[in-house]
Amino acid sequence: MNLDIDGGTLLYALGVLFGLGALTYFARDVVFGLSITVTAALLFAAFLAFLAAGLALDRDRLDVVAYALSASSYAVFLGYVTSRYAVGDTGVFLLLAASAALFVGLGYGVRRRALTVDRRTAAYVVVGVAAASAPLIAADAATGDVRYDADLVEETTVQTAADRETGRVPATAAVGTLAVRNPSPFARATDLPDASACVVGVDAPPDAAVEYDPRGYDVPDRLDGGGGREHDVVVRVPVAANDTGTYAVERDGDCDAARAEPTIVVSFGAGAS
């Protein structure tokens, strides 16, 4: 087996691998704060731009590099779309079949020299793709990110029915709602804010846990443009077995401060208003 690879080819291969890494990192939605719709559009735009460059270049394997980056952009685009949207098994199959046909057709056209563009046309394509992408990015930034608005009640009743007569058992109490709204016309990813709680003003362990109903993993991690939904905010608190009690509810209070009455203090992480 001949492993004699010249330095230029190795550097080309490393460039393609780093390009694939950059595209994959971009698709993870951890930079730029773009919507799902615009992220998918930019990945497809990168596929078109690199494809046009590959069709125009014909020197020192640069066309192969451009084709590899084009295919990488398309693969990341396809993986991103299928992971973000509920396309189902049939949808994934159809997308893969259509993609296979697309690349076989492109390969045939390149091999037969039936699919070529000059450098000026390729430059127009790249500029056109960039010009079309810029307004999308601007509109995405202008329309805002997903909003998380918490609305807590002033007091709640905690009641538990346990199979033992003594000790403390966990019980749940509804303390409010979290409204999730997407003001943008583009689909956006959702990530429910972290929440914590403590119990003060009673002779009980201060530990308490906050849950959302439905929980984040029970609903899609995205909202379509203009969409919204609500989650009940539920706190699990330790109370005496077979006991009923009324608790005041505070937001972002001091868990170390004394209270004249039993109080549940709820705090939300960054992003919640």
Residue 121 lies in a domain: yes
- To which H or E segment does residue 231 belong? strand 228-240
Per residue in 42-51, pLDDT tens?
999 999 999 9
- Shared domain check, 233 and 221: yes
Q: Going by C-beta distance under 8 Å and a sequence separation of 6 or more, which residues neighbour residue 141?
A: none
- Shared domain check, 253 and 193: yes
Residue 241 lies in a domain: yes
Is the previous residue joined to 214 through a cis bond, with omega within 30 degrees of 0?
yes
Cβ pair 154, 120 in contact under 8 A: no
- Shared domain check, 91 and 33: yes
Domain count of the chain? 2
- Of 109, 143, 177, which residue constitutes the final position of a domain? 143
Residue 152 lies in a domain: yes
Whether pLDDT at 71 is above 90: yes
**Domain of 231: which CATH number?**
2.60.40
Which pTM value belongs to this model?
A: 0.82
- Of 110, 143, 176, which residue constitutes the final position of a domain? 143
Per residue in 129-171, pLDDT tens?
999 999 999 999 898 899 999 999 998 888 665 555 556 677 8
The total of other beta-carbon atoms located within 10 Å of residue 235's CB is 26
- What's the rounded Cα separation, in Å, for the pair 18 and 77? 16
- Shared domain check, 159 and 51: no
Residue ranges making up the domain that contains 153: 147-268
Average pLDDT, rounded, for the chain: 86
- Of 143, 160, 185, which residue constitutes the final position of a domain? 143
- Shared domain check, 191 and 137: no
Residue 273 lies in a domain: no
- Shared domain check, 182 and 135: no
Q: What pLDDT, on a 0 to 100 scale, did the predictor assign at position 167?
A: 63
Whether pLDDT at 3 is above 60: no
- Shared domain check, 173 and 134: no
